[in-house]
Amino acid sequence: MRITKRNYALDLLRSLAIFLMVIFHFIYDLKYFGWLTWDIPDGDGWKNFRYVILTLFFVCVGVSLVYSHAEQSHLKKFIKRLAKVAIGAGIITLMSLVMFPQNWIYFGVLHFILIASLCAILFVPYPRLSLMLGTCIIILVPLGVLKNRWPFNYFDEFLPNYTVDYVPLFPWFGVILLGISLAHSKWLNHDTFQLNNLKNEKLIRRLTWPGKHSLIIYLIHQPFFFAVLTPVNWWLN
């Protein structure tokens, strides 16, 4: 399979995920400061909105694993990427301990990506297996065969009863596997998605910029919101 050097459809998908995530967290912060009474993140509509965001992110993770390792393994690059994610996950946990000491984050988005990437890398050469296993995982969770609290159900006494961000291994690992399968498809690897074949090159580059810097945006957007909203809240009260 021929893998293009840069797939701008993937970057656009990441950018969309980042955009929706920023909206979600901004509205959550407005509720946190008491300016909104919407039931975010626990209302059904907001839960579904979050599921859409997570699905976009994790499909991109699966696709990215294939793009990085399908033709040859880049172990150093993979380790370097995971090290960045691990540092980011640690920062998120420490920040949550300060901001939400009763509801701190022990396994959020970055923690999940770290562990899931280590497991999913084994499936990169096997798109059909990834498709079948990913589909099975997604189906078996609502049937109760796979538990979305595993393995943390064994450590409940050490963990908060409620956390502000939790991403279970199941079913979301299945979504990453589907992303691996999708990355092998002819549709995603067609030359149409090469930048030199796209119109409005400058616009495409601007739209894909967030997708190329998703990790740093993920880490800084909430501290930025709180840095802006906290003094505003203090001034209003």
Domain regions of the chain by residue span: 8-183+200-236
Between CA 204 and CA 14 the distance in angstroms is: 13
Residue 213 pLDDT > 70: yes
DSSP letters, the chain, are ----S--HHHHHHHHHHHHHHHHHHHHHHHHHTTS----TTTSHHHHHHHHHHHHHHHHHHHHHHHHHHSSS--HHHHHHHHHHHHHHHHHHHHHHHHH-TTS--SB-HHHHHHHHHHHHGGGTT-HHHHHHHHHHHHHHTTTTSS-TTTTGGGGGGGS-SS-S-B--HHHHHHHHHHHHHHHTSTTTTSGGGSGGGSSSHHHHHHHHHHHHTHHHHHHHHHHHHHHHHHHHHHHH-
Between CA 65 and CA 127 the distance in angstroms is: 12
- Tell me what pLDDT residue 202 has: 76
- Tell me what pLDDT residue 2 has: 47
- Tell me what pLDDT residue 191 has: 47
Residue 126 pLDDT > 90: yes
Residue 4 pLDDT > 50: no
pLDDT digits (tens, 9 = 90+) for 25-78: 999 999 989 898 898 888 889 999 999 999 999 999 999 998 887 555 677 888
Angle at 225 between CA 224 and CA 227, to 5 degrees: 65
Residue 121, both tokens: 């890398």
The reported pTM is: 0.87
Handedness of CA 229, 234, 235, 237 (dihedral sign): positive
- Please tell me the number of Cα atoms within 13 Å of 207 on its side-chain side: 15
pLDDT band at 1 (very low <50, low <70, confident <90, very high): very low
Bridge partners of 107? Answer: 166
pLDDT digits (tens, 9 = 90+) for 74-83: 778 888 889 9
pLDDT digits (tens, 9 = 90+) for 149-207: 898 988 888 899 889 899 999 999 999 999 999 988 876 665 445 555 556 677 778 88
Is residue 63 within 8 Å of residue 189, measured between CB atoms?
Answer: no
> Percent of the chain scored above 70 by pLDDT?
90
Between CA 134 and CA 35 the distance in angstroms is: 40
Between CA 180 and CA 110 the distance in angstroms is: 18
Is residue 150 within 8 Å of residue 100, measured between CB atoms?
Answer: no
Between CA 123 and CA 66 the distance in angstroms is: 9
